[in-house]
Structure 1
Amino acid sequence: MPGIKKWQYTKGLHEIGNGIYAYLQPDGGWGWSNAGLITGDDSNTLVDTLYDLQLTHEMYKTMQQQVTSHLSIGNIINTHSDGDHTNGNQLFPEATIIASKSTAEEMRHAVPPQVMADMLKKAPPQAPIRKRLGAFDFNGISQRFPTETFDREKNIVVGEKQVRLLEVGPAHTLGDTLAYLPKEKVIFTGDIVFAEAHPVVWAGPISNWITACNTILALDIDVVVPGHGPITDLSAVEKLKNYFLYIFDEASKRYQAGMSALDAAYEINYDMFASWKNSERMIPNVMAVYRDLSTTPEPENVHTIFAWMDQWEQRHQEG
């Protein structure tokens, strides 16, 4: 398998080897997710689709141009429920969509794409939602939900390639899944790995995410394709694990001292992660620690969380 330096972080399809490809979307920020293609003799498998129909169509056309014009998609693996990994499912009506049971259930209760489209339409020009999601077109998306589900682990075959699906959620979401090719030593992690960016904990607990990192680190892997960010290796997983250990430790001290989660997020020193994008995600991540430690955790209002993240961005831009 080629060395990691082979792959530039540029938009488009990148060949990993043995009929395995990663489709990258820099800069990996909100909504700019990665996907994968595993080719076989008679059928091919996508690992995730993209945030809207146009982006997913562009990805598929690129695959046809660079792999084969007769490229057919037999399976889609949805690594988790977020729309930037699932909204393009409808473009492949004949494909079997495989996901964990928790992911399938979460998808059915997620905010529908048309609601997102309406929110963007009504938002003022300078609204933060336009900054994060204004590049995406949520109109016309008809959600295709998983047609085949599993608990904890499932093995599939693509051509002669063995693919192990390992459910490691709840962590980022309720049903996060890894797609691991043991012979090729390649793993598609979905949003269990954010490379060169702060992750975001929507479900948790953080201890599960640390365990997920340990699961990956215990595997024989040369190439890690993250849900967002450049193609990497196990060093990125180790860094992510250390990030969560650090955040949990620092937030726990402040929780025990009676500090609010918001104040704790601002006080924690994150200089060692200063090169990582999306530092505003410290807020939901610290809140996740507080939720883990509380005997009576209360669900946070997602609109409030995003408002606090907007304030974080503004303060750091001004500072």
Structure 2
Amino acid sequence: MRSKLAIVFALLFILSCKVERPIEIESVNFEFIELEKGVYSCIHKFGGKAICNVGIVDNGKETIVFDSFLSPDVAEELLEALNEMNLSPVKYVVNSHFHNDHIRGNQVFSEAVKIISTARTSEIIEEEEPLQIAYEKENAPARLAYYDSLYKSFNGDTKSREYQQILMWKPYYEILSNSHLKVKTRVPDMFVDSIHNIDGPDRRIQLVSKGQGHTESDLVLYLPDDDIIFTGDLVFNECHPYVPHGNISKWKT
């Protein structure tokens, strides 16, 4: 089985020299940061249930969502927030790779929304997600009990790395313990295996795949006019990358 319960908390990392501006959206799970007009990062809050981060890009004609969270419930909350932000209609959701925390919000988007990934990522999702969900049903409750006990007994520095790890894994396993009840796997139906442009009147958008890296097949979203790139898990911030499904030599290039 490709995906194990030990999957590291996934990070979507945004490379940009722009000034970040918070957006007033109330949520215990995530916060919005405006990178440019029509370009946002939606960042997981420690202790919340977003788990990964999400990118939002409005090209002036349609909105593209980059990755879709682990929890369908949090993805629903994201949709509600987007409806309040006066953006163009969501037309595409991009899955950067196959890990569960980047794809399980797919199901909340309407059938009119295209789900984009590489062809190989789509194949892996279709093959592995049923096995992964069955594995979580069997094993996640015990992991949740372990982290719940750590949380209840913790009496150290709440700013410590140790406590931050507990705040990350406890909600992660809460979600996985119920995944077999809530997840209806939606497999990507549009594929990009080199470069694909989704341009609008406000900006150019490029989806780019260079093949193997963090996984067998990764996809990034690049905004050449804004000097911003959404990388999925090809870049990690302040923690060691998760590498079991990756190719280190190709990742570096």
TM-score by length of 2: 0.71
- C-alpha distance after superposition, 1:138-175 (max 9, x if no partner): 22211111111122222222443211111133221111
Deviation of 1:35 (Å): 0.4
Query: Does residue 66 of structure 2 align to residue 47 of structure 1?
Result: yes
Contact 2:143 2:173 in 1 (8 A): no
Where does residue 170 of structure 1 map in the other structure? Answer: 212
Cα distance in 1, alignment partners of residues 234 and 144 from structure 2? 33
Residue from 92, 98, 107 that aligns with 2:116: 98
Residue from 79, 83, 87 that aligns with 1:60: 79
Residue from 93, 98, 120 that aligns with 1:81: 98
CA 1:124–1:14 in structure 2 vs 1: closer, same or farther (change >3 Å)?
Answer: closer
Greater RCO (Cα-Cα under 8 Å, separation 6 or more): 2
CA 1:89–1:182 in structure 2 vs 1: closer, same or farther (change >3 Å)?
Answer: same
* Aligned-partner residue type, residue 205 of structure 2: V
Cα distance in 2, alignment partners of residues 30 and 170 from structure 1? 28
Runs of 5+ consecutive residues of structure 1 not aligned to the other structure: 212-319
- C-alpha distance after superposition, 1:85-137 (max 9, x if no partner): 11011111220111111211111122336425523565376346974732314
Cα distance in 2, alignment partners of residues 53 and 142 from structure 1? 9
Cα distance in 1, alignment partners of residues 66 and 216 from structure 2? 18
Where does residue 173 of structure 2 map in the other structure? Answer: 134
CA 1:53–1:150 in structure 2 vs 1: closer, same or farther (change >3 Å)?
Answer: same
Bigger Cα Rg? 1
Matched position secondary structure for 2:205: strand
CA 1:161–1:29 in structure 2 vs 1: closer, same or farther (change >3 Å)?
Answer: same
Cα distance in 2, alignment partners of residues 123 and 54 from structure 1? 22
| Identity %, equivalent residues | 25
In the TM superposition, 1:1-319 aligns within 5 A as 3=18, 11-27=30-46, 32-65=51-84, 67-68=85-86, 72-92=89-109, 93-112=111-130, 114-115=133-134, 117-119=136-138, 123=142, 126-127=145-146, 131=170, 133-136=172-175, 137-138=178-179, 139-211=181-253
Runs of 5+ consecutive residues of structure 2 not aligned to the other structure: 1-15, 24-28, 149-168
RMSD: 3.0
CA 1:126–1:25 in structure 2 vs 1: closer, same or farther (change >3 Å)?
Answer: same
Matched position secondary structure for 1:109: helix
Deviation of 1:81 (Å): 0.9
CA 1:116–1:158 in structure 2 vs 1: closer, same or farther (change >3 Å)?
Answer: farther
Cα distance in 1, alignment partners of residues 135 and 116 from structure 2? 25
* Aligned-partner residue type, residue 45 of structure 2: P
Greater strand proportion: 2
Contact 1:32 1:84 in 2 (8 A): yes
CA 1:116–1:28 in structure 2 vs 1: closer, same or farther (change >3 Å)?
Answer: farther
Deviating more after overlay: 165-174 vs 129-138: 129-138
Matched position secondary structure for 2:120: helix
Cα distance in 2, alignment partners of residues 126 and 54 from structure 1? 22
Where does residue 273 of structure 1 map in the other structure? Answer: none
Contact 2:59 2:205 in 1 (8 A): no
